[in-house]
Amino acid sequence: MTQQVQRADFDRVMVPNYAPAAFVPVRGQGSRVWDQQGKEYVDFAGGIAVNSLGHAHPALVAALTEQAGKLWHVSNSLTNEPALRLASKLVETTFAEKVFFCNSGGEANEAAFKLARRYAIDKFGPDKVEIIAFNNAFHGRTFFTVSVGGQSKYSDGFGPKPGGITHLPFNDLDALAKQISDKTCAVVMEPLQGEGGITPATQAFIEGARALCDKHNALLVFDEVQSGNGRTGTLYAYQSFGVVPDILTTAKGLGGGFPIGAMLTTADIASHLAVGTHGSTYGGNPLGCAVAEAALGIISQPAVLAAVQDKHNRFKQRLNAINAQYQCFSEIRGMGLLIGAALVPALAGKAKDFMNAGAKEGVMVLQAGPDVIRFAPSLVIPDADIDEGLNRFERAVAAVVAK
Ligand SMILES: *Cc1c(COP(=O)(O)O)cnc(C)c1O
């Protein structure tokens, strides 16, 4: 018999680094989720921009179960067919010539930052190690990636940090021009900052950063862990900006809910990670790659990507209408299906209240910091689910504003 468990058990047996919601989901289908009590939710959270095709998508279930009956894991002392097919697909659809697989966004960035350092040291000598990153960025929770991320609340309190990292204000090209030098090995940015508050790079900033990197032989690294895999309406966000990075990292939506990460780069840069310089036991395992291959096959279809923009407009129109009624948002921003509704000063710090009120009304939303409500639903969410979810969200807004 299966042991009965409930939310209270979290506090009993789990490390307290998370504060999960009061309900425990047990089943999902498309953009709907059901909890232990059978209550139904519209899912605008998407497992934090991970469930790119919703829950239990038939193509992903088929890919996973078919691969599960064949081969799960072989390690990187062997290669495997799903990994080779997925890497080929990524090379065909992006600037990349080479791919490294891992299991998460943090690992993809760890690989990217190590590669940027190795490349610069090999080519230009031991002093070229400075990494420039931006305030409010988020790049993962390993000690290197959390140090490159620009949020001290995540990186302080663990003793000495990896050095050689500088943080600048995001979208401030003058500050970047002043700081970058021939000692800079990489400039690292999210083209659309996710955790930091759904803040897109400006076109001038992203183009200017590219030019400055070229001038100083620094690599431009785009962290597309959250903005990638169709999230912004192009396969990767760099394609919307028309600015090509030297290294791109991704994860989250790539596996549609199965853990997988990837680092994409050129053949020249990749050649600096020679045999033995970096690795991952599970990286590129057949299960993850088979699911990601199926997910990418759907997400990369032009009709699917075009629909992301239509759904963005549908969200925005309704959120504007809600705002006209309740004057709760100072700005509604983002790209594709990564949308942020920034709260007005009178509601500052209350994003979590909106999440909780949403759950009560039967809709799951996210926050991006204390002042921004974030929407990151399935890329193929039906319009009817958007409308129903926003009906419920409007009731949640009414409840929070009335308090
Ligand atoms: C979520 C996220 C990460 C970290 O990914 P994990 O899979 O949690 O390690 C890194 N960068 C960005 C931009 C993210 O949104």
DSSP secondary structure letters along 22-62: SS-EEEEEBTEEEETT--EEEESSHHHHT-TT-BS-HHHHH
Output the CA 105–ligand 1 centroid distance in Å.
4
How do residues 341-382 score in pLDDT, each as one tens digit? Answer: 999 999 999 999 999 999 999 999 999 999 999 999 999 999
Output the CA 38–ligand 1 centroid distance in Å.
31
Same topology for domains 8-56+303-402 and 71-299, yes or no?
A: no
How do residues 205-249 score in pLDDT, each as one tens digit? Answer: 999 999 999 999 999 999 999 999 999 999 999 999 999 999 999
pLDDT tier for residue 115 given thresholds of 50, 70 and 90: very high
The per-residue pLDDT for 318 is 98
| Torsion, Cα of 104, 109, 114, 119 (10° steps) | 120
Residue 35 backbone zone (phi > 0: left; psi -120 to 50: alpha; other: beta): beta
Question: What's the rounded Cα separation, in Å, for the pair 266 and 284?
Answer: 18
Is residue 150 pLDDT above 90, yes or no?
no
Question: What's the rounded Cα separation, in Å, for the pair 333 and 316?
Answer: 8
The per-residue pLDDT for 403 is 82
The per-residue pLDDT for 171 is 98
**Mutational test site, ligand 1, from 223, 225, 282, max ligand atoms within 8 Å of CB:** 225
CB 372 within 8 A of CB 351: yes
Question: What's the rounded Cα separation, in Å, for the pair 227 and 224?
Answer: 5
Q: Looking at the CA of residue 190, tell me the nearest atom of ligand 1.
A: 13
CB 186 within 8 A of CB 221: yes
CB 183 within 8 A of CB 168: no
For ligand 1, atom 10: residue with the closest CA: 139
Q: What is the average pLDDT across 125-132?
A: 98
Is residue 89 pLDDT above 70, yes or no?
yes
Is residue 169 pLDDT above 60, yes or no?
yes
Roughly what angle, to the nearest 10 degrees, separates helices 383-402 and 302-326? 30
How do residues 319-332 score in pLDDT, each as one tens digit? Answer: 999 999 999 999 99
Q: Which residues are annotated as a binding site?
A: 138, 141, 223-226, 280-281
How do residues 379-401 score in pLDDT, each as one tens digit? Answer: 999 999 999 999 999 999 999 99
Roughly what angle, to the nearest 10 degrees, separates helices 286-299 and 81-93? 30
- The domain ranges of the chain are 8-56+303-402, 71-299
DSSP secondary structure letters along 192-223: EESTTTSEEPPHHHHHHHHHHHHHTT-EEEEE
The per-residue pLDDT for 1 is 55
Percent of the chain past pLDDT 70, that is, above it, reads 100
Output the CA 262–ligand 1 centroid distance in Å.
12
CB 272 within 8 A of CB 118: yes
Output the CA 252–ligand 1 centroid distance in Å.
7
How do residues 28-82 score in pLDDT, each as one tens digit? Answer: 999 999 999 999 999 999 999 999 999 999 999 999 999 999 999 999 999 999 9
Q: What are phi and psi of 34, to 5 degrees?
A: -120, 145
The per-residue pLDDT for 59 is 98
**Mutational test site, ligand 1, from 101, 102, 136, 139, max ligand atoms within 8 Å of CB:** 139
Is residue 252 pLDDT above 60, yes or no?
yes
CATH code for the domain defined by 8-56+303-402: 3.90.1150.10
Amino acid identity of 372?
V
CB 174 within 8 A of CB 210: no
Q: What is the average pLDDT across 118-131?
A: 98
71-299 fold: Aspartate Aminotransferase; domain 2 (3.40.640)
Percent of the chain past pLDDT 90, that is, above it, reads 99
- What is the chain's mean pLDDT, rounded? 97
